[in-house]
Amino acid sequence: MKEKLIQNKWLIVLGIITAFLGMATLFLFANDSRNSAKPTVIQNWRLTGTKSISERTNPVASKILSNKNTLRVTYNLHGLCVLEGNASSLSFIEKDTNKKYSVSLSDYGKNCSNSLQTVDIPLSHFEFPKDTKVKSIIASFWYPTQYEVDIQSAILYKSDDVVLGESTKKENVKKTFPNITPIREFPYAKESQY
C-alpha cells in the first residue's frame, strides 16, 4: 500500500514536470513565430563620415519580403539635414540580378532632427516587382562635412494600415521665393515646382 502511494506521488510529480515542459515549449514556439513575423534586418548601425560615403550591408533571407508590406525604421540623424537620393538611402538588393531598389530617408520623418524617430515606409515605395527575392539591405549616407547617423533598428512586417498606396512619404510642396524680383508679372514667377 505504501509503495502504491509513493508510486502515485511520483506519477503526479512526473505529470507536473511534463506539463511544465510542454508549456515552456509552446511559449518558445510562440515567441519564435512572433519574431519571424517581424524580422529585424538592421540593428544598431552607426554610419559616420567626413565628405565620404558611409555604407553598411546586411545579408537577408531571399524570401524575407514575403507577406510583408512595411519597413519600420528607428533612427537618429544627430541633427544632420540629410540630402536626397543615394546620399541618404535604404536599399534592397535583388538576389539574382543585383538590382538595387531604394528610398531616401530625406522623404520620411523629420529631417535635421537630433532625437530618435520611427518611420513606417511602405515596401511599395521601393518599387520592386511582386515576389522579388532579395539578398541584402544596404544603408548609405553621404554629406559634404562630418556626420553621424544611428539606425537603431529596421524591421519588416505586415501592416493592416497600409491601404492602396497610402503613404507616410512627404508630399511634394511648391516652394515660393518671395525675395526674387520677377522678370514677368504675377502669376508667372510667383511659384515654382523646384
If asked whether residues 10 and 58 sit together in one domain, one would say no
Residues 61 and 3 in one domain: no
One domain, residues 104 and 155: yes
Pairing mode of beta strands 175-176, 191-192: antiparallel
Range of the domain at 16: 1-37
pTM: 0.66
Does 90 reside within a domain? yes
Task: Report the SS3 class of residue 74.
Answer: strand
3-class DSSP state for residue 123? Answer: helix
Q: Is residue 187 part of a domain?
A: no
pLDDT tens-place string over residues 28-69: 444 444 444 589 999 999 999 999 999 999 999 999 999 999
pLDDT at 18: 64
Question: CB of 106 within 8 A of CB of 64?
Answer: no
- Among residues 117, 121, 131, the alpha carbon closest in space to that of 63 is found at 131
